[in-house]
Amino acid sequence: MNTHATLGILGGMGPAAGIDLCRKIVDQHPADRDQDHIPFILYSVPQIPDRTEALLRDGASPLDGMMDGVHALEQSGAGCIAIACNTAHAWLEALRTRTHLPVLDVVDAVAGELSRCVAPGSPIALMATEGTHHANVYRPRLEALGYHFVSAAEPLAQQALVNEGIRLTKAGEIRRGGEALAMAMEPLLAAGAQRIILGCTEIPVALAMCETPLARFGLDASAALARACIAWSLAHEGHESHASPTHQ
Amino acid sequence: MNTHATLGILGGMGPAAGIDLCRKIVDQHPADRDQDHIPFILYSVPQIPDRTEALLRDGASPLDGMMDGVHALEQSGAGCIAIACNTAHAWLEALRTRTHLPVLDVVDAVAGELSRCVAPGSPIALMATEGTHHANVYRPRLEALGYHFVSAAEPLAQQALVNEGIRLTKAGEIRRGGEALAMAMEPLLAAGAQRIILGCTEIPVALAMCETPLARFGLDASAALARACIAWSLAHEGHESHASPTHQ
């Protein structure tokens, strides 16, 4: 029998974020038995140069390391690639020219979700790594759709909190990371943002741990990408399965 | 530079359990930055016939489906295989004859942990699928080490609770699953078990959600396997990494 198509998740950037995307894929596609869940392969080899270092400070490029992952996923039978790192989307087009597989785009996924929760022209904000801001992963494309980005009154201090929250989360101090990130949301809401794109895969992981009431103003880019992953898998036929439909 | 060796996780049986094993690998090996985390690849294609059906009721064998995963992991650069499903360990020796990669054994991992928390000869118990019980995955090997297995006074009723807890967890009703599994621990403790091996990967996932005080009597087989995975990765050299040691 044919089954849903297998997702290839390029993870490890960081490891918790890749796992979080997979968990959201499983949680958001409920199934009564194992065999009805969405198939995926998670490549989590985090020995990839830091994306923000590469974008801001001429650090080593992560592209070769990401392509190792893409090739491994191609060979494993994945039918598409999803990148569990917003900053790594700065290399999305470079990846697309180097693989025959479709590569999903977190910005498309976020744009789709935004259109369902705020009107075009609404003030929004982005919490992300400095690399994601610098590489303009989100802003020009969402501005082209009519959204208006607001900034904190003290942008350097606000970004310092975001950086610290992400760093703590990657280092396993997830609750403290969440507290820093919740504090970083406040000046964006004060500036009038109706939604804050949680545009780094570590951010929703950390906010979930600290149970802040501000979380409801966040738009979780990982959850949006997970829904795009599920939609892709359900829309495409997978390989021959060994699961017999007559056995549970 | 060389890095830690890459783990191949055979998951999808069920998907939540494979993700849980990966999360435990990341959580139990803290690292300050992405690049110092343990590399792994999770193959989570759950279209594999049910293991307990195959063992108890002549259902289709999961071996071909598992071997698809093993071959994918071999080709992706994994250096060993860990199986994120206790029941699937009934096919451990069959897998070992079909791959050149070492395959870790959850029973070895559990035996090592048991030796650190109870004396040989101590009464212990096993919560697992009927397939794991029937295939004698744990009992003969732990009895050979001197442990004494106790059963519930009403074993059928107790196993019914375990089955229901696992089924609910696989279907995403994780809290309700955890409540059933916590109830299933009580008659084993009443029978004198000093530790209960949580010998199905869904069980610790579910118990963690319901915050039962009985959880401290459980020995989490997934956590034990995660520690064995980390030890294996740290003891073996990985492939050439693209992460430069001069950049964070």
Chosen from A2, A45, A70, A233 to mutate, greatest number of chain B CBs within 10 A: A45
Q: How confident is the model at residue A170 (pLDDT cuts 50, 70, 90)?
A: confident
A200 is catalytic: yes
Spelled out in words, what is the top-level CATH class assigned to the domain B107-221?
alpha beta
Chosen from B56, B233, B242 to mutate, greatest number of chain A CBs within 10 A: B242
Tens of pLDDT, residues B69-100: 999 999 999 999 999 999 999 999 999 999 99
Q: How wide is the angle at C-alpha B89 spanned by C-alphas B230 and B239, nearest 5°?
A: 35
Which residues, listed in sequence order, are joined to residue B81 by a DSSP beta bridge? B8, B103
The answer to whether the CB atoms of B53 and A26 lie below 8 A apart is: no
**Model pLDDT, residue A240:** 47
Under 8 Å between Cβ of B202 and B166 = yes
**Model pLDDT, residue A239:** 52
Model confidence at A245: pLDDT above 90: no
Under 8 Å between Cβ of A165 and A181 = yes
Report the residue from B36, B72, B172 with minimal CB separation from A77: B72
CATH topology match: B7-105+226-235 vs B107-221: yes
**How far does the CA of residue B91 sit from the closest CA of chain A (Å)?**
16
Say how far apart CA A69 and CA A200 lie, in whole Å: 20
Q: Of B22, B80, B200, B210, which one is the catalytic site residue?
A: B200
Is the Cα dihedral A74, A79, A84, A85 positive or negative?
Answer: positive
Higher pLDDT, residue A170 or B110: B110
Model confidence at A162: pLDDT above 90: yes
Say how far apart CA B243 and CA B53 lie, in whole Å: 45
Query: Whose CA is closest to A212, among A199, A203, A221?
Result: A203
Tens of pLDDT, residues A141-152: 999 999 999 999
Report the residue from A26, A54, A72 with minimal CB separation from B15: A26
Tens of pLDDT, residues A49-108: 999 899 999 899 999 999 999 999 999 999 999 999 999 999 999 999 999 999 999 999
CA A136 to chain centre: 15
Q: Say how many CB pairs under 8 Å bridge A and B.
A: 186
The answer to whether the CB atoms of A248 and B50 lie below 8 A apart is: yes
**Model pLDDT, residue A28:** 93
Q: Of B22, B80, B85, B210, which one is the catalytic site residue?
A: B85
Domain boundaries, chain B: 7-105+226-235, 107-221
Query: Whose CA is closest to A19, among B86, B150, B195, B42?
Result: B42
> How far apart, in Å, do the first and last CA atoms of chain A sit?
14
Say how far apart CA B232 and CA B29 lie, in whole Å: 12
Residues of chain B with pLDDT under 50: 1-2, 240-248
The answer to whether the CB atoms of B170 and A33 lie below 8 A apart is: yes
Spelled out in words, what is the top-level CATH class assigned to the domain B7-105+226-235?
alpha beta
Say how far apart CA B48 and CA B161 lie, in whole Å: 24
**Model pLDDT, residue A70:** 97
The answer to whether the CB atoms of A50 and B26 lie below 8 A apart is: no
The answer to whether the CB atoms of A65 and B243 lie below 8 A apart is: yes
**Model pLDDT, residue B1:** 40
**Model pLDDT, residue A201:** 87
Chain A residue numbers with beta carbons less than 8 Å from the beta carbon of B233 are none
Is the Cα dihedral A227, A230, A232, A235 positive or negative?
Answer: negative
The answer to whether the CB atoms of B65 and A16 lie below 8 A apart is: no
* Cβ-count burial A63-101 (b if 16+ within 10 Å, e if not): bebbbbbbbbbbebbbbbbbbbbbbbbbbbeebeeebeb
Report the residue from B19, B35, B46 with minimal CB separation from A19: B19
Return the residue matching tokens 């089954």.
A3
Model confidence at A1: pLDDT above 60: no
Tens of pLDDT, residues A119-138: 988 999 999 999 999 999 99
**Model pLDDT, residue A229:** 97
Model confidence at A248: pLDDT above 80: no
B229 is catalytic: no
Report the residue from A16, A32, A35 with minimal CB separation from B26: A16
